[in-house]
């Protein structure tokens, strides 16, 4: 019994260094952020900050810029999530059927994920350049009309999505491929013996068996899309005329360019609320792993 107590004490000693950081940089920030979101912050004299309740939140809901940013993030997610799902699955199916060179292709499509967002943006800004970018050069050469990739308000978001796809879809396809390869071959053999054709096998066997991984991809891609910031910040700066300025960039500018910390904190809680819906689904998946 005494030995157990000594072990326990040692255990707490093991926890101390991490817990100090966890309290200081996770728990306290959450509390501070909650406090910031309900006060009118006076940066010069914190004691003069006044409690204003939900006003930061109601202000946000009446703020046209906030809704514009929400719309931009929503549009990014609406374009990005289905594209990642379809393209990622298609690439995984393609790789699964390769008779040779699969490992090499897997590495090639995954490689863009290694780049930082700034390098990716700089590279693609050059591709997207109206006059001497690769894309418009090729279009002109083929006799088409050049596309104002980043300078047109309607075109800018699809361009951001295109770059983001190159950047991340390889990772998705690799995850789906792994799941595909874990499906026992005999399922397909049994199905074809029973006379199932390719389409039947795809829709009745593959897709249902891939459901967990596709759900995982759907949730993580949606969450990541809601947090979109760097791609647009580097490629367009959020323009033209705020067409690609998402919620995170708006929060960033509100807090660190406009010094409205309370309002920025409120926006970050609204973002959290939107993400929470999707991360609860993910938490269930995580939980089955923790307990399994």
Residues 246-265, interacting with another protein (CB under 8 A): 248, 251-252, 255-256, 261, 264-265
Q: Is 105 an interacting residue with respect to another protein (CB under 8 A)?
A: yes
Q: Output the smallest distance, CB 146 to another protein, in A.
A: 12
Q: Is 99 an interacting residue with respect to another protein (CB under 8 A)?
A: yes
Q: Which of residues 34-63 bind another protein (CB under 8 A)?
A: 36
Q: Is 286 an interacting residue with respect to another protein (CB under 8 A)?
A: yes
Contact 217, 176 (CB under 8 A): yes
Number of residues interacting with another protein: please give it, by CB under 8 A.
106
Alpha-carbon torsion, ordered 149, 151, 152, 153, to 10 deg: 110
Q: Is 108 an interacting residue with respect to another protein (CB under 8 A)?
A: yes
User: In the block, which residue shows the tokens 């990642």?
Assistant: 84
Question: Which residue's CB is nearer to another protein, number 187 or number 259?
Answer: 259
CA dist 201 and 85 (Å) reads 19
CA dist 286 and 30 (Å) reads 22
Q: Output the smallest distance, CB 142 to another protein, in A.
A: 13
Q: Of 53-61, 152-160, 169-177, 192-200, which segment contacts another protein by CB under 8 A?
A: 169-177
Figure out which of the listed residues 69, 161, 179, 180 binds another protein, where binding follows CB under 8 A.
Answer: 179
Figure out which of the listed residues 40, 49, 125, 151 binds another protein, where binding follows CB under 8 A.
Answer: 125
Contact 176, 88 (CB under 8 A): yes
Q: Which of residues 189-248 bind another protein (CB under 8 A)?
A: 212-213, 216, 220, 223, 226-227, 229-230, 233-234, 248
Question: How many CB atoms neighbour CB 68 within 10 A?
Answer: 17
Q: Is 86 an interacting residue with respect to another protein (CB under 8 A)?
A: no
Question: Which residue's CB is nearer to another protein, number 223 or number 243?
Answer: 223
């Amino acid at each position: 019994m005494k030995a157990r107590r000594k072990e326990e004490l040692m255990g707490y000693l093991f926890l101390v260094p991490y817990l100090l950081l966890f309290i200081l940089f996770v728990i306290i920030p959450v509390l501070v952020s909650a406090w910031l979101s309900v006060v009118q912050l006076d940066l010069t004299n914190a004691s003069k900050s006044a409690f204003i309740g939900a006003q930061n939140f109601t202000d946000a809901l009446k703020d046209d810029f906030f809704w514009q940013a929400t719309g931009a993030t929503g549009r990014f997610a609406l374009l990005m999530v289905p594209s990642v799902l379809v393209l990622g699955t298609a690439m995984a199916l393609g790789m699964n059927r390769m008779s040779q060179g699969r490992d090499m292709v897997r590495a090639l499509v995954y490689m863009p994920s290694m780049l930082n967002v700034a390098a990716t943006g700089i590279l693609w800004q050059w591709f997207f350049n109206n006059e001497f970018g690769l894309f418009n050069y090729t279009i002109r050469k083929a006799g088409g009309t050049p596309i104002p990739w980043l300078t047109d308000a309607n075109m800018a978001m699809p361009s951001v999505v295109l770059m983001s796809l190159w950047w991340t879809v390889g990772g998705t396809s690799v995850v789906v491929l792994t799941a595909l390869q874990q499906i026992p071959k005999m399922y397909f053999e049994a199905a074809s013996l029973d006379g199932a054709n390719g389409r039947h096998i795809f829709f009745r066997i593959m897709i249902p068996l891939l459901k967990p991984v596709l759900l995982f991809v759907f949730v993580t891609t949606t969450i990541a899309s809601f947090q979109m910031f760097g791609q647009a910040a580097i490629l367009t700066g959020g323009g033209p005329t705020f067409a690609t300025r998402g919620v995170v960039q708006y929060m960033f500018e509100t807090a660190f360019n406009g010094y409205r910390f309370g309002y920025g904190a409120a926006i970050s809680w609204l973002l959290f609320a939107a993400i929470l819906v999707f991360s609860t689904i993910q938490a269930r998946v995580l939980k089955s792993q923790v307990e399994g």
